[in-house]
Amino acid sequence: MTPITEQKLADKNVAPTAMRILVMNMLLEQSAAISLSDIEKGLAPADRITIYRTIKTFEEKGLVHVIDDGTGTPKYALCLEECGVNEHHDLHVHFNCISCKETFCLPNCKIPDVSLPANFSSTEMNLIVKGICDKCAN
């Protein structure tokens, strides 16, 4: 277990099981959000239910957030440090590249304030920008 993995799990009071360590290490290696299916492929022959439960635990504890990028497959990315138990503060733009199909968190691009009509209240926000990423543009 790397010191970074150990610290991230400890900071969120997540017991460091073998699967949690493997999944966290995989997430730490990613430059883009990753699907559950890609995590399963990367950790084969690990049990897919255990991987799913691990991701759900990470989401509940504020370690990862789910990204609905419009592809029909949820993607997962590490949260910012401010996220906590069932409380995500990852209100940033996500970018989906139409060429390589990868989805990136853009934490420095905040979602703008949205004025909702009276009697409307939001429970979550998601802003996806689609286009060509810097790798595909070169």
Annotated binding-site positions for Fe cation: 88, 90
Backbone angles phi, psi at 98, to 5 degrees: -75, -10
Q: Which two tokens stand for residue 45?
A: 């022959």
Annotated binding-site members for Zn(2+): 97, 100, 133, 136
For strand 92-97 and strand 128-131, is the pairing parallel, antiparallel, or unpaired? Answer: parallel
Q: List the binding residues.
A: 88, 90, 97, 100, 133, 136
Residue 111 phi, psi (nearest 5)? -70, 130
Q: Please give the distance of CA 68 from its chain centroid, rounded to a whole number.
A: 10
